[in-house]
Amino acid sequence: MFLFGGIKSLTNISPRNVVVRNFKVAIVGAGGGIGQPLSLLIRRIPGIDELALHDLSDTKGIAADLSHISQWGRVLAFKGDEELEPALCGADVVVVAAGMPRRPGMERDQLMAVNGGLAIKVATAVGKASPGALLAFITNPINMIIPTAAEVLKAQGIFDPRRLFGVTALDVVRSEKFISDFMNISPNGVNIPVIGGHAGITILPLISQCKPGFKGTSEDIEKLTYRIQEAGTEIVNAKAGLGSATLSMAYAAASFVESLIRGLNGQEDVVDCAYVASELTDAPFFASSLELGKYGIKSYPPLPQMSDYENESLEKLLPILRQNADEGVAFARKCLKDISPIPAALP
């Protein structure tokens, strides 16, 4: 059965009774507010033989701490720009949790000015050290970061749209939780696709496709949709501007990484949501449900039949995604002077 999330499987992981291949996962930004809990949760995923932790500050203490957990595999620490490529070397999955969090009143361009450079640095290093890796960005603004990273990988001659992801799993997690609270049921029984992008009105939960069927009015749907779209601001305000979503983001991202690992391992019917290069709409990058496999994205399930409200919302968000993509590409092209093609063929 196809599930929209793959979000809840972390609670059922049992490495001792699952037969899997071994993979290397590298986390860039492993010492941060998302990176540390993410590293802990990823440590529990079966099939990871090596977990490489990288940050600008020393990660030796974090690696030592995690290495004491009674799970298979080793944990290695890497520090600074000079050790970025060694950290990524041979990785099957690279997860980027580094970057500046969003602050109250911060404009998208301000956030991109800092985090866009980071995306370029990591995508360049991946191209040199692990061109076949699945590259998943948590770093915001996702709607611009992924087009930027794609342009850098294209400049190196190694872009594969099946292997680049913007992690939007938190939108799914929030949708499941908020809907389950509204319906007074367990979130473990809720499945819902979230399409579009990863900011404001570009986040579109398809409540008409919720399983079990949503029991509420059209007004309830609009209120829930708005809360899901603005949930990030809810956390920023709750933290009094001193941070953004970290623990919930780590939970969602670890669940997505587990989906990637299960796909790499050849498991069937692994479906999750992410923001990727896509032809489902006229926006070049779009979040939707994806079937995952041995080389990343295996297939792009078509968009389901949507309600009138959802179709109208989709028409409103597509111009924003197109503009975000153009801005991400333009940002990358300003920084590509020192990047040359890499003569490497992907399998």
Q: What is the pLDDT of residues 4-53, one digit of tens each?
A: 344 444 444 444 444 457 999 999 999 999 999 999 999 999 999 999 99
Low-confidence residues in the chain, pLDDT < 70: 1-20, 102, 104-107, 337-347
Q: What pLDDT score does 155 carry? A: 94
Q: Which structural domain range is residue 11 located in?
A: 1-332
> In Å, how far are 28, 35, 67, 197, 260 from 273, measured between CA atoms?
21, 21, 31, 11, 11
The number of distinct structural domains making up the chain is 1
- Whether 338 maps to a domain, the answer reads no
- Whether 203 maps to a domain, the answer reads yes
| pTM exceeding the 0.95 threshold for the entire prediction | no
- Whether 339 maps to a domain, the answer reads no
- The structure tokens listed for 272 are 């999750």
- Whether 347 maps to a domain, the answer reads no
Based on the residue annotation, tell me whether 198 is a catalytic residue of this protein. yes
d(CA 35, CA 33): 6
Q: What pLDDT score does 254 carry? A: 98
- Whether 342 maps to a domain, the answer reads no
Q: What pLDDT score does 338 carry? A: 53
For the segment 93-107, what is each residue's pLDDT rounded down to a tens digit? 999 999 987 676 666
Domain with 214 in it: what CATH number? 3.90.110.10
Q: What pLDDT score does 13 carry? A: 44
CB atoms within 10 A of CB 165: 31
d(CA 55, CA 35): 9
Q: What pLDDT score does 174 carry? A: 98
CA atoms within 13 A on the CB side of 10: 20
- Whether 344 maps to a domain, the answer reads no
Query: 162, 163, 198, 262: which is the annotated catalytic residue?
Result: 198
Confirm if 206 and 194 have CB atoms less than 8 A apart.
Answer: yes
Q: What pLDDT score does 12 carry? A: 45
> Could you tell me how many residues make up the chain?
347
Q: Which helix (H) or strand (E) holds 64?
A: helix 60-67
Q: What pLDDT score does 105 carry? A: 66
Q: What pLDDT score does 141 carry? A: 95
- Whether 39 maps to a domain, the answer reads yes
- The structure tokens listed for 326 are 């153009």
Q: Check the CA dihedral 175-115-328-105 and report its sign.
A: positive
- The structure tokens listed for 237 are 């305000």
Confirm if 5 and 36 have CB atoms less than 8 A apart.
Answer: no
d(CA 42, CA 11): 12
d(CA 213, CA 215): 6
Amino acid letter, 112: M
For the segment 34-46, what is each residue's pLDDT rounded down to a tens digit? 999 999 999 999 9
Confirm if 35 and 9 have CB atoms less than 8 A apart.
Answer: no
Which burial class, exposed, middle or buried, applies to 35 when counting CB atoms under 10 A from its CB (0-12, 13-18, 19+)? buried
Q: What pLDDT score does 344 carry? A: 37
d(CA 303, CA 216): 23
- Whether 251 maps to a domain, the answer reads yes
